[in-house]
Amino acid sequence: MKTKNNPWYWVPPLYMTEGLPYVIIIVVSVIMYKNLGIDNSEIGLYTSLLYLPWVIKPFWSPIVDLYSTKRKWFLGMQLVLAACFLGVGLAIPTNQFFVISLAFFWMGAFASATNDIASDGFYLLALKEDQQSFFIGLRSTFYRVASVTGQGLIVVLAGYLETHYGDNSKAWSITMLLVAGLIFILTLINFLTTPNVEKEADYQKQKSLTFLEVFASFFQKKEIGLALAFILLYRLGESQLVKMVSPFLLDGREVGGLAMSTSDVGWIYGTFGVIALTLGGIIGGIVISRDGLKKWILPMILALNVPNTFYYILAFAQPETMFYAGAVVVIEQLGYGFGFAAFMMYLIYVADGPAKTSHYAIATGFMALGMMLPGMASGYIQEWLGYEQFFLWVVLSAIPGIYLVKYIKIPADFGKKQESKV
């Protein structure tokens, strides 16, 4: 049955299903491996390598443009993801859990990256430009709500099970099996809510372009070198921060951490963090829709990066109570939700034009590269500098991206809601 195209119905679950596998594979895996006895350097290296499918997804993104509908692609990939998390859950109790679970995470990463291509392409196809800018806040918010659900509620559940069973391996095995079930339920919701807006002609007409022409046309865009540098540097600080925040909160005070429990870390992200993130993302989408991206790009990149300063203060002071860590997470999540809305809208701007699904995939591939390479080194940098100096380094890493804002050219009305003609 054809579903009415009401973005309020389908944008939230679609981007929950885009964000949740990503955060489980990239972020929650860090906490899981930490609690299963893997050291920081291996965690930083191997979980950052899981970014690779998102980096290289542009190489197969034209296939999604050229064959079948975006809706069929993302529904199929979401079912594959459910199967991959089932595999992780079953692998954890085995003697070779690290290698086997990483293999399933790798397969899940490729399926998730392909799901991203199709979901983002569907978003660009189903909505007009002014709708895209208005709903970018909702989209970013639910993507990040998925992220916080992973870092929050799912980690809280794992922490509870760790305490209940006294067996971290069993706790994380059950957690991953439940994640598989959740992904399956979200896939069913997407099947029921996403509209059938595509016709065969929508993708058959793209076949006049060859694979290489679709790929090469992205790099022929005006000032693409500057745009790619900005994409790579926008989250240079965060790409390192995100890998080491959970180990910092979990590590003992003798090594510079805050010695918090798994459940405490989950509650911090899963309660007030969710509220702050939601507010930041919605406000970000509203102000871009009202004033355009150009006006807000600088305040938003500052909002995303400046709050990281508070992690340095936490590492320096090592407060005894959970309140201060919670306050820092709230401030950071509010700023992240606000600032990330601008980043996603900028990627849409860079991808605009023919074959926008493939071009958007290429742009987000560079975004993933900007997360992967610094993240791979983050564990080694942290072990070398210690947490306090590491967070100072994270703050300084944001400066190049902020500096490039003055050179970025964005039309004044891009993303601005157009007045309706009655």
Q: What is the tens place of the pLDDT at every residue in 11-32?
A: 889 999 999 999 899 889 988 9
Q: Is the pLDDT of residue 119 over 50?
A: yes
Positive/negative CA dihedral, 8, 10, 12, 13: positive
pLDDT for 200 equals 53
Closest C-alpha to 157, from 34, 251, 262 = 262
What average pLDDT does the segment 314-327 reach? Answer: 90
End-to-end CA distance of the chain: 32
pLDDT for 69 equals 84
- Least confidently predicted of 155-169, 190-204, 205-219, 380-394: 205-219
Token duo for residue 23:
């955060």
Residue 406: Cβ within 10 Å count: 7
What average pLDDT does the segment 165-171 reach? Answer: 92
Domain 7-407: give its CATH architecture.
Answer: Up-down Bundle (1.20)
Half-sphere exposure of 412 (CA within 13 A, CB side): 0
Q: Is the pLDDT of residue 278 over 90?
A: no
What average pLDDT does the segment 78-86 reach? Answer: 97
Q: Is the pLDDT of residue 57 over 90?
A: no
What average pLDDT does the segment 338-357 reach? Answer: 84
Q: At what angle do helices 309-317 and 356-397 cross, to 10 degrees?
A: 40
Q: Is the pLDDT of residue 422 over 50?
A: no
Token duo for residue 227:
């745009």
Q: Is the pLDDT of residue 75 over 50?
A: yes
Angle (nearest 5°) at CA 249 between 245 and 255: 100
Q: Is the pLDDT of residue 1 over 50?
A: no
pLDDT confidence tier of residue 145, bands split at 50, 70 and 90 = confident
Average pLDDT, the chain: 85
Q: What is the pTM of this model?
A: 0.70
- Least confidently predicted of 80-84, 188-192, 410-414: 410-414
Is 103 within 8 Å of 112 (Cβ atoms)? Answer: no
Is 104 within 8 Å of 88 (Cβ atoms)? Answer: yes
